[in-house]
Structures are given as C-alpha cells and as structure tokens.
Amino acid sequence: MKRLEINHHLFYETSHSPSLVDIVGEKMLGRVLDFCFIENPYYPGKRLLRKLKRKLPVVIKSYPSSNPTLAQKDLATVIHTHPNHIVIGNGATELITIIENQLVENIGIPIPTFSEYIEKLRSSDQVKLFQLPAENRYQLDLDEYAGWINAEGLSAALIINPGNPTGQFISTEKMLGFLEQMRDLQLILVDESFIDFAGEEVPSLIPFIEKYPNVIIVRSMSKHCGIPGLRLGYCCTSNADFLRKIRSALPIWNINTLAEYFLTQLKDTDREYHIARKKVIADVEDLYLKLKTIQGFEVYPTGSNFILLKITYGPTAYELQMKLLEEYGVYVRDCSNKVGLDKYHIRVASQGRKKDKFLLKALVELAG
C-alpha cells in the first residue's frame, strides 16, 4: 500500500492516543485498521444502530432528563443491582475525576495503570505508586499490595481488574479476600471496565457491594459496549455518603439524550450483548495463541479484550507503531508513556479474526 502521511505531532500532545481521524484525516479512515482503541466490535448490532439512527432527529432537539433515576433503573436491569447504588457519568473519566477529588485523601496505585488515575489527582502528595514486577508479568500480588498500603498509611487503594494496560486478571476469590482484609480502609476503588471479557460468566464484584460499603466499582461502557462516542460510564457502591458526594459534584444533564436512549435499549439487547462479548473472548484467545507463535515478542496473558506485548527484537514501541501505521495501515498502542512500562511495550485490541489477520501478517513481516 502507499505510505500513509501521518500527523506525528499529535502523539506528543497527550498521554492518550490520538484518534485516527486526527492522525490520518477522515478521507483516509478506510485505509487504516484500529487495534489501538479498545472496544467491542460486535456490539451494538445493526438493529440497535438503526434504532439509534432513527431516534437521532428527536433526541438532538431534546434536553436530557433531569431525573437520573430513570437511567439508573434502565442500567440496573442488566447489571443486577439496586438503582440507588448506581451513578451514571459522562464516561468513566468523569466519575474517576469526581471520586478522586471528593473522596481521596491519599491512594495507592499499582503501575502500570490507566493514566487518568494519576493525572487527575490534585497533587503528587495524594498518590503513592506501587510498581508491579516485570518478572511476574505485571501481576498484582494482593497480599503484598495490602501490606504495602498499610505500611504507607494510605486511606485508599485502586485495583484495575483486569489490568489496563497489562490485561492481568485477578480471580473473584482473591479479590474478595483482599476486600475482607482491607475492611478498615476508607476507600477501595475497583475499576472493572474490562471485566466482561474475563470469563463466560462475568466475575464482577457488583453483587458484593452491600457487604463491603468501602468499595466503589467503576466501569466504562465505552470498552465493553463499544460506544466511546456516547460517553457512558457508571459507578456502583452501597455507601450512602460516597453516593451523596459523587452526585453532588455532577452537573445537571451530564448524560446526553442519545446516551439515555441507548440505556433504555439495554434490557432488550442483553442477550445480543452477551453473545457479542463471548465472541470477543474467543477472538482474543485466538489472537493470543497466534501472537505467541511470532518470534520477537513476549506476549502477556490477558483477561481482557486486548493483549500487551513486549518487543524483543530491536525497535522501540514508537518506531514499531509508526512502521505499522505508515506502511501497513495498522494502528497499535505505543505504551511507552504508561508510567511503569519501558519503551518496548505495545498493546493490541482484537477487532475480530478477519481484521486480526492483517495485524498478525504485519507483525510477522516486520519481526522476520
């Protein structure tokens, strides 16, 4: 293919990856496959997309509801918790910012991690970083983490499960052991944005929030529902004080009308959604096994819809990212700006087996 022209400066302006529209322009989108941004390629399905399209002329002329309990009830039907335990945000990032500003005095954060958890804190004094060992494939040892939190005198702890960008999954049994061990901690923040891809049955901690009132679970619907443009995320907790403080910091109409309508469709498309997420799980397993056959990469196990790789044959992550993008039209995530990783890690998100073949072919050619 003809070499793509890239807006290179965009990669230095933020810790997050620039969108493909920004990088190559709208006219060139059809020439690039996006393995960088993490989503569900099978959901929403065509029927739901048609309904959203038909609804558009009405919703763009309408204000969102000023009563958030309606949307909470829609969401509660599919995540199986009480509507009063839910707060819905304009993406999970809105809730992360509010939680850290309103509830966090000081917090332990395992790294590497999702950068928003570090960047949105008011000062560096609020955060202590817990480096995950590369030799253990960045797996979080919960007993070691609990001991460190207590030794540091911290009031809060973050766990992303499965980890981002590592993909490492911690079993429900181990997570519950940690919650029991840390009952006296002021706040345990658990990010489950990728938990729907961790098993045939979703191993979420949402059923246990009444037992552990110091727990807040955060989830991004962009990731597991494949709707980053709708900006939907939510948190769940049984702690009335937490709920009051989070809700008091939300602006009115923080959820747009199209996002609200999407939430009303969750119950009717729940079966379709679970078929889609199980298909993603199978695709990721297939991609993982095929990546492991390619020389020049260390491939990390995953419980998510993406896979972390370490480049072992020479180029840096940025160099490989640019080669893949410019020469093959394949966009992957350079993880060198993730605190806790070196400059040789990339992350790839499965886009279905047909598209994954192009990624695999490009990696084989470049590593060979």
The yes-or-no verdict on residue 212 having pLDDT over 60 is yes
Only one residue has tokens 């509507």, namely 83
**How many other CB atoms sit within 10 Å of the CB of residue 86?**
23
Which distant-in-sequence residues (6+ apart) come within 8 Å of 365 by Cβ?
A: none
> What's the rounded mean pLDDT across residues 88-117?
95
366/362 Cα distance (integer angstroms): 6
Res. 201 pLDDT band, cuts 50 70 90: very high
DSSP for 325-367? Answer: IIII-EE-EE-TTSTT--TTEEEEE---HHHHHHHHHHHHHHH
**Six-digit token pair at 105?**
């005095």
Indicate if the pLDDT at residue 295 is higher than 60: yes
Distance CA 28, CA 33 (A): 11
Please state the rounded mean pLDDT for residues 187-208. Answer: 98
Looking at the predicted structure, is the pLDDT value of residue 200 above 90?
yes
Helix (H, G, I), strand (E, B) or coil at 140: coil
**Integer angstrom CA distances of residue 271 from 266, 268, 318:** 9, 8, 40
What value does the mean pLDDT take over residues 110-124? 82
Question: pLDDT for 244-265, tens place per residue?
Answer: 999 999 999 999 999 999 999 9
What distance lies between CA 164 and its chain's CA centroid?
A: 7
**pLDDT band at residue 21, thresholds of 50, 70 and 90?**
confident
Rounded CA-CA distance 209/175 in Å is 12
For the cut 70, the answer to whether the pLDDT of residue 12 exceeds it is no
Q: Is it the case that residue 130 has pLDDT exceeding 80?
A: yes
CB atoms within 10 A of CB 147: 12
Residue 24 pLDDT exceeds 80? no
Q: What pLDDT does 175 receive?
A: 99
Mean predicted lDDT score pLDDT of the chain: 94
CA pair distance 3, 25, nearest whole angstrom:
14
Over residues 352-356, mean pLDDT: 97
pLDDT confidence band for 122 (50 / 70 / 90): low
Q: Do the bridges between strand 233-236 and strand 297-299 make them parallel or antiparallel, or are there none, so unpaired?
A: unpaired
Residue 19 has pLDDT above 90, yes or no: no
302-344: pLDDT as tens digits: 999 999 999 999 999 999 999 999 999 999 999 999 999 999 9
State the pLDDT at residue 154.
Answer: 97
Greatest pairwise CA separation for the chain in angstroms: 60
Q: What is the pLDDT of residues 53-76, one digit of tens each?
A: 999 999 999 999 999 999 999 999
- Judged against a pLDDT cut of 80, whether residue 22 lies above it is answered with no
Nearest to 307 by CA among 246, 361, 255, 350: 350
d(CA 84, CA 312): 49
**Cβ 117 vs Cβ 193: under 8 Å:** no
pLDDT at 17 (0 to 100)? 77
- In this prediction, residue 10 carries a pLDDT of 64
Please, what is the Cα angle at 50 between 46 and 51, to 5 degrees? 120
Beta strands in the chain (DSSP E): 33-34, 86-89, 107-111, 127-131, 156-160, 187-191, 215-220, 233-236, 297-299, 306-311, 330-331, 333-334, 345-349
* Structure token pair of residue 280: 């993603």
Alpha-carbon span 160 to 129, nearest angstrom = 14
> In the structure encoding, which two tokens stand for residue 52, read together?
């959203």
- Please name each of the domains of the chain with its CATH number: 8-44+271-367 (3.90.1150.10), 47-268 (3.40.640.10)
Q: How far apart are the first and last CA of the chain?
A: 19
